[in-house]
Amino acid sequence: MKTNTGVLTLAVVSLLLGLLGYWLNQRQDKPDAPVLDPSSMRQQLVDRLASGQPIEDLLLRRYQGFLQQEARLALPQAPDLASLIQLFDSREQLRQRNFDAQEQSGLFGEERLMEQWTLRRKELAEASPGEQLALGEALDNWLAEQPGWFQEAEANGRLISDLQRMARLTPEARRLAMLERVGPEAQGRLQQLAQDTQHFEHQLDGYLAELATMTSQDPQAHQQLLALWFPETQWRRVAALTRLRQEQLPAQ
């Protein structure tokens, strides 16, 4: 039970990184996913543990052990730059102890990139006014070196943050602020994005409801159901959201 609680607690920190990750997983022009996909690995573990099947794949067993070790890491109560560096360093040591360089690249490439992004943003937030200009320029230069899909995801993340702040304004002030921030053309795109998001949520609810009624624990049957509801470009995102929803369910 302690292990399960630790996994859920660690997910809180992972969700901070996952905000950017969800945008990454929606990009259709994203480079081909690596053979070692952490979302797929976690889903395989869920399937095996739920069905009581033995875990025969050696890599999957090592990954299960890694997640158990990761869940025992001490989490900062009030994350600052120093505590986040310590947490990410501890996670990196676990990766290097459990996997070779090629496996690390496939399983943790995106996660490492998001950790770097988190640390740079945190350093900028905690810097003195005299240091912020140089750190802001360093962050922009770092972002310019990253893949295009990462740059767009980061820009979308900033837009979400701006829109959340606008939500606290009066309707008229919010309308003016949004016009200034994104322009009249982008307002239409934001409305379309909201509609697309609502459609996706309806699809996800339907998929999860049908998944809950399945008696078969065959991973292939689950994959066929996933393919019926979603295009392949959304599979990783759906797998991650499915895992989060299942973890939030009360223990039977």
Torsion, Cα of 139, 141, 146, 152 (10° steps): 70
Q: Which two tokens stand for residue 94?
A: 């676990």
Q: What CA–CA distances, in Å, run from 102 to 34, 36, 88, 195?
A: 10, 9, 19, 40
What distance separates the 2 farthest-apart alpha carbons in the chain?
Answer: 61
Overall average pLDDT of the 119-141 stretch: 91
Structure tokens at 44: 């395989």
Q: What is the per-residue pLDDT across 223-246, written as a single tens digit (0 to 9) for each?
A: 888 888 988 888 877 887 787 676
Give Cα 51 distance to the centre of its chain: 26
Give the start-to-end residue ranges of the domains of the chain.
2-248
Mean pLDDT of the chain: 75
Select the highest-mean-pLDDT range: 36-40, 120-124, 170-174, 232-236: 120-124
193-207 pLDDT, tens digit each:
667 778 888 888 999
State the pLDDT at residue 127. Answer: 92
Whether 135 shows a pLDDT value over 80: the answer reads yes
Residues 6+ apart with CB under 8 A from 247: 7, 8, 11
pLDDT at 93 over 90: yes
- Between CA 32 and CA 60, with CA 102 as vertex, the angle to 5 degrees is 85
At residue 146, the pLDDT reads: 84
Mean pLDDT of 83-92: 92
For residues 77 and 11, give the distance between their C-alpha atoms in angstroms, rounded to a whole number: 14
